[in-house]
A = this chain, B = another copy of it.
Amino acid sequence: MNIDRKVSVAIIGAGTAGLYATPDVRDATEGDFLLIEAGNYGTTCARTGGMPSKALVRFAEQAQSITELRAFQTGKVSNAQIDQAAILRHIRKLRDRFVARVVNSMKRIPANNRMQGFATFVEPNILKVRNKLIQADKIILATGSSPVIPEGWEKFSDRILTTDTLFEQKDLPPAITVIGLSGIGLELGQALQRLGIEISGFDFQKKIAGLQDPVVNKTAIHLLHQEMPLWLGRAVRVKEDGRQLRVFSGDNSELSDKLLITLGRRPNLKGLGLERFISQTDARGIPSFDRTTMQIADYPIFLAGDIDGESTLFHEACDEGRIAAYNSCYEKQAFQRKQPFHITFTDPNIVQIGKNWHEIKGDPNITIAELNFQLQNRAVMMGEDHGILRLYADKTTHKLVGAAMIAPRGEHLGHLLAWSIEQGQTVGDLLKMPFYHPGIEEGLQTTLYQLYARMRDRNDKKPPELHVI
C-alpha cells in the first residue's frame, strides 16, 4: 500500500470527545497528529443538544411565571401570546454563537493537522480518507451518534422533527407529539407545551427520564401528566389522519401536526469498516472495549464519546476523550470512571445518581429515605412544592450510594449528591456540612437525618452536626 501520510495519532471526529482529546494529543505528539472530520465543525451539544434546549426551557419558565402570576393575581396579569418563531430565531442566534466558538477553536489547530472527509478503516492502523491512505500508530474513534428513527416511519419524514431539525424550524405547528420520553424529549415537550404548543408524549416504556426508582417514576409521571398527556408502556404506532398524524398507544391516541422523535441516539459506526477486522461486538455492532482505558481489545484503536454507546453525556465524553488521548500517547493506564449522574431539565428537574434502583433493591444492607417537597419550607415559599427525593445509603459503610429525585433545583442538589457519592462521604460526614436556611438543600439535610437515625451509635451523645476538637 502507498501510505500518503504517517502520524502518531489520528482522531476521527471533531465533536466534543475529539476536541477534548486534541490538546492532550497535540502536546504529547508534539504536533504529529491528524484530526479528521466528515461533516461541518461544531459539536452535537452546541448544535442540537443540551445548549439550545436549555434556552427553550428558560423561555418556558418565563411563560410559566406568567401563568402562575395570573392564577394568583386575578385580573392584574394578562395572558401572554408567546411568539414561538421569535424564540426559535433567538435560540438559533445563541446557538450560532456557541458553534462559532467551536469553529474558531478549530481554526487554532494548524491546517496541516486537520483534514475534512469520511474516514474508513483499511487496516486497524490505516485509514482511507478521500482516496488518501493515512497510517497512524494510534487512532481515536469519536464519530458521535445520530438520532434514531424507527424503520418504516420514513413515509412521515416531512413531518418528523428530531433535535437535529427542531431548532431549524421557522415556526412550529399547533400540535406536536413527542415520541420517546427518556430525557431530552420530556424536557422539550414540557417546554413547548408551556410556550403554547399542544404537546402529547408517548413511550413504549413505563418509565420516563430513564427513572429506575418506581416511587420517583410514579411521582414524575403524575407531575408531568398534569401539563400534558403521557401515554406509556405500549408499542407506539403512527397513522395518517386527514392532514394530521394520529399516534397510538394501545387504544389511546393523540392527533398532531408533527412528531418530535427523541428515541435516543445511535453510534455513528456505519461505513467505518470496523467489521473487516473486529468481530467481537455487542448486539448493536459496538466493538468490545475497556471503559477504563477506552481501548478496543488489543487494537490500536480507542473509543471516545457517543460512539461507545454507553451514554450521550457531555462530561463522560470529555473524560473519554482525555482517557483515549492519554492511552494513545503514553503507556496504557486505567482510569476510574465517574459515578452515573443524569439530569433531565424538566420542571421540576429529574435526576439519578450513583447506584440505581435495580442495583440496590432487595439488598439488605441498603436503607432508603425520602422527602416529599410539599413539606419542604423553601419549596413552599417558592411555590415549587412538588417532587420527591430518595436517597440510598449502605448501613454497613454508612456511605451514601445513590439518589433519585424529581425536585425543584434538582440539578443543583444533584451536583451536591454526585460529588458526595464520588467522594465516598458517609451520612454522618454530610450532616456536618452547612445547609443554608432557607434553602432547598435543607430538604437534603432532612433526608440525611432519617438515614442517620437508622445508623447512629445510640451511645454517642455528641451532636452529629459538629466535629469535636
Contacts and interface: CB of A to CB of B under 8 A. Distances in A.
Interface stretch (A79-87, A117-125, A137-145, A146-154): A79-87
A405 to B, nearest CB: 14
A51 to B, nearest CB: 6
A353 to B, nearest CB: 9
Given A463-B24, A466-B323, A58 B383 contact: yes
A146 B338 CA distance: 49
B432 A422 contact: yes
Contacts of A55: 381-382
A165 interface: no
B415 A51 contact: no
A434 interface: yes
Contacts of A52: 381
A467 to B, nearest CB: 4
A436 B465 contact: no
A315 B435 contact: yes
Given A82-B76, A382-B58, A323 B463 contact: yes
Contact of A409 (B63, B333, B336, B412): B412
Given A329-B461, A330-B461, A412-B441, 11 more contacts: A55-B382, A66-B66, A69-B82, A73-B83, A73-B87, A76-B80, A322-B466, A335-B467, A412-B415, A415-B435, A418-B436
Interface of A: 24, 28, 45, 50-52, 54-55, 58-59, 61-63, 65-66, 68-69, 72-73, 76-78, 80-83, 86-87, 90, 94, 97-98, 292, 313-315, 318-319, 322-323, 325-326, 329-330, 333-339, 341, 343, 377-378, 380-383, 409, 411-412, 414-416, 418-420, 422-423, 432-441, 461-463, 465-469
Please provide the 6 A-B residue pairs with the shortest distance between their CB atoms, ordered closest to farther. Answer: A314-B437, A412-B412, A65-B65, A78-B78, A322-B463, A62-B65
12 contacts: A28-B461, A62-B65, A63-B69, A72-B86, A73-B87, A77-B80, A292-B469, A313-B437, A412-B441, A415-B434, A418-B436, A422-B433
